[in-house]
Structure 1
Amino acid sequence: MKTCIRDVVVAVVAVSMGVALAACGQGGGTGGYAGSGPRIGLLLPDAITSRWESKDRPLLEERIKERCGDCTIEHANANGDVAAQQRQVDSMITKGIDALVLVAVDASALNAAVRKAHDAGVPVVSYDRLAEGPISGYVSFNGQEVGRLQARALLKAMAHRADGDQIVMINGDPTDPNTLLFKDGALSVLRGHVKFGKVYDTPMWRSDIANMNMSGAIADLGAGNIDGVYSANDALASGVISALRANKISPLPPVTGQDADLGAVRRIVGGEQYMTVWKPNDAEASAGAAMAVAAARGENLHRIATGTVRTRSGDVVPAVLLTPVSVTVGTIKDTLLKGGVYTVQQICTPLLRTACDKAGLTG
């Protein structure tokens, strides 16, 4: 198992390096860096999911700078507001940007805005979520594999139980196209092995809504009748676990997650959350930056792509699809620590010292 994990980590690093373009100088300015070269817009969907501003934005800006020191980066966050993101696309077009990296708040609702950018000669690189409309490139992870990893881990954690035991399924935002991919992947593994006691979608990936839904599931199904929880990401898992704790359920049923948030990793070490899915942000940002710079320079994105995807309209688009990695307490060392995501000091708070020692996390 450890050898397999190491191979995946090496593969992720190789993909990250493979999409890199040669650096061309240094620079600084608006939204991060300024210069006389191409202007690249970066539109993020919200601040509810911590990764967008804490991980993806700084990594994308850094990787763009490495590839194009005279590029200018313009950044905006829609804070979950579709209309705001539509206005931000308009603003980017007006500013004369040369390429746009877009994480759509709502893939369908942004279709017209993507088309407007395309008609204005602005190529759109769809990042993490597959946007609708005439996009020029796509960078993300294999969404169905994310769901499969979560489901396999959940069944493994429930292995001492009988087939047909009951789970609660807490899916993500129904307007996020990734939600359907995660759900499809998970269902392909879970069907026939568990009973779905309750199934919920979670608008805006909000942990408070996940908490409310989980509390409702406990009230309807009974505290002793929940054998596992499929939670689509770590933010939702935090809400789920809070509801389980509030209802004094012990021991906690296994709960899945995604994104390898620091809080989730600590919950895994402490035994509250069973697993998460690590989607190496650096590899995704490297691919996204490479596509953005190439698009801004009018270059062919197929030379960066490792494959293609078909959009809802039927267009075939150059894509980089990366491999997600399952993380449980026994694999933190060979994934997140080896990958440089966190240090032992960051994970192992004083309250977790004994649990960290038991997990072999020392240093």
Structure 2
Amino acid sequence: MTRLSHTLIAASTLSLGMMSATAAFAAASGTVAFLMPDQASTRYEQHDFPGFKAEMAKLCPDCKVLYQNANADASQQQQQFNSVIAQGAKVIVLDPVDSTAAASLVHMAQGQGVKVIAYDRPVPSTPADYYVSFDNEGIGKSIAQSLVEHMKDMKIPTDKGGVLEVNGSPTDAAAGLIKNGIHAGLQGSGYKTLAEFDTPEWAPPKAQQWVSGQITRFGSQIVGVVAANDGTGGGAIAAFKAAGVNPVPPVTGNDATTAALQLIIAGDQYNTILKPSEVVAAAAAKVAVGFLSGQAPKAETTLFKTPSQLFKPAVITQKNIKAEVIDKGFASGKDLCTGRYADGCKTLGISN
């Protein structure tokens, strides 16, 4: 059994009072909606929804699951939200396109007795019924600290230049938490922040365009890039390569996408965050079925006045990619060691 399987089992058997999941959810039935924000990241289609659907099938075989993706359009997400309520959804798992605009959706749902589970991205101004996510502030701090340690190991002097900060979407509260963590991770490092940018819709082309401008502006003063996710990190790397910069300064990421893991193998990206979305999706499914069963889920902590469960992910670099990603079954050498990445895999001892 892979590490992912073990983790999913652990997530799906978290305690619910003193009752087993089977006993607590025996009478559960109803309609649950799973509303995701965009398709810029492949994770929602490839990991989050499949993980949620699989866990719902185990915990509540009689439940109906509705899935929609808003494709980064807040208005479309509002229409989808209204639609699933009209279809009888009693619990909505919501990853909002716009965390501020989502407050009105939470109000509306709660006014009709519908439970809302904020997923991945919180709704700061209006408490949802529950929040399930990775520790986003911790993610930002971890990738920034990892980058700082790497630059110091490379003996890059703090007075040589500084870093660029490529943040996530300005309408995403989770991106704001990651940004806060990045600031904390860079604080006291000695490396100054040359410039920072909030990437609309987390769109990699917009991150690439901004970084291209900063390369023209700062040139060799850029000694590192803290990018908030793998998409923006990939956009930054593409900008350096287009500008003929070799080697590319160390760039961070977050999500451990296949593309990012390959960039790490090739030495183009320095780090990413391994956070298997299936784990959070399974936890959200358990909370949803708990609400359907009338069993209020216990919370590990509270964030934005919302009962919350936050998972702590791992930082991945070339040093641990084989041990943490390949050997534990999160990805395979067959998928990663293709084309130009084959030589890097050999160097790292990854077989395909």
TM-score using structure 2 length: 0.91
Quote the residue 1:18 is aligned against. Answer: 13
CA distance in 2: counterparts of 1:42 and 1:116, whole angstroms: 17
Match of 2:151 among 139, 144, 158: 158
- Answer whether contact 1:118 1:134 (CA < 8 A) is retained: no
- Answer whether contact 1:23 1:66 (CA < 8 A) is retained: no
Q: CA deviation at 1:189?
A: 2.1
Match of 1:89 among 81, 104, 111: 81
Q: After superposition, give the CA deviation of every residue in 1:238-283 in whole Å (9 maximum; x if it has no partner).
A: 1111110010001110000000000000000001001101112222
Query: What SS does the corresponding residue of 1:135 show, helix, strand or coil?
Result: coil
CA distance in 1: counterparts of 2:57 and 2:206, whole angstroms: 38
CA distance in 2: counterparts of 1:188 and 1:350, whole angstroms: 38
- Answer whether contact 2:4 2:329 (CA < 8 A) is retained: no
CA 17–75 in structure 1, closer or farther in 2 if over 3 Å, else same? closer
Quote the residue 1:220 is aligned against. Answer: 217
Quote the residue 2:285 is aligned against. Answer: 289
Q: CA deviation at 1:187?
A: 1.2
Q: Which region of structure 1 is more displaced relative to structure 2, 256-265 or 348-357?
A: 348-357
CA distance in 1: counterparts of 2:97 and 2:14, whole angstroms: 26
Query: What SS does the corresponding residue of 1:321 show, helix, strand or coil?
Result: strand
Q: CA deviation at 1:191?
A: 2.1
Which structure 2 residues correspond to residues 268-347 of structure 1 after superposition, within 5 A? Answer: 268-302=264-298, 305=299, 307-311=300-304, 315=305, 317-347=306-336
Q: Which region of structure 1 is more displaced relative to structure 2, 155-164 or 288-297?
A: 155-164
Query: What SS does the corresponding residue of 1:330 show, helix, strand or coil?
Result: coil
Quote the residue 2:240 is aligned against. Answer: 244
Which structure 2 residues correspond to residues 23-42 of structure 1 after superposition, within 5 A? Answer: 37-42=29-34
CA distance in 2: counterparts of 1:11 and 1:144, whole angstroms: 26
Query: What SS does the corresponding residue of 1:329 show, helix, strand or coil?
Result: coil
1:145 to 2:138 alignment: yes
Q: CA deviation at 1:196?
A: 1.2
Query: What SS does the corresponding residue of 2:78 show, helix, strand or coil?
Result: helix
Structure 1 vs Structure 2 CA RMSD: 2.0
Match of 1:127 among 102, 116, 119: 119
Q: After superposition, give the CA deviation of every residue in 1:78-97 in whole Å (9 maximum; x if it has no partner).
A: 11111111111111221121
Gaps of at least 5 residues in structure 1 are 1-7, 25-35
CA distance in 2: counterparts of 1:61 and 1:296, whole angstroms: 16
- Answer whether contact 1:12 1:280 (CA < 8 A) is retained: no
- Answer whether contact 2:237 2:268 (CA < 8 A) is retained: yes
Q: After superposition, give the CA deviation of every residue in 1:86-115 in whole Å (9 maximum; x if it has no partner).
A: 111111221121111100111111111111
CA distance in 2: counterparts of 1:287 and 1:123, whole angstroms: 15
CA distance in 1: counterparts of 2:205 and 2:342, whole angstroms: 29
- Answer whether contact 2:12 2:286 (CA < 8 A) is retained: no
Q: Which region of structure 1 is more displaced relative to structure 2, 162-171 or 47-56?
A: 162-171
TM-score using structure 1 length: 0.88
- Answer whether contact 1:12 1:283 (CA < 8 A) is retained: yes
Gaps of at least 5 residues in structure 2 are none
Deviating 4+ runs (over 6 angstroms) = 8-11
CA distance in 2: counterparts of 1:350 and 1:50, whole angstroms: 21
Q: CA deviation at 1:156?
A: 2.0
CA distance in 2: counterparts of 1:66 and 1:178, whole angstroms: 29
Q: After superposition, give the CA deviation of every residue in 1:23-74 in whole Å (9 maximum; x if it has no partner).
A: 69xxxxxxxxxxx931101111111111111110111111111100010001
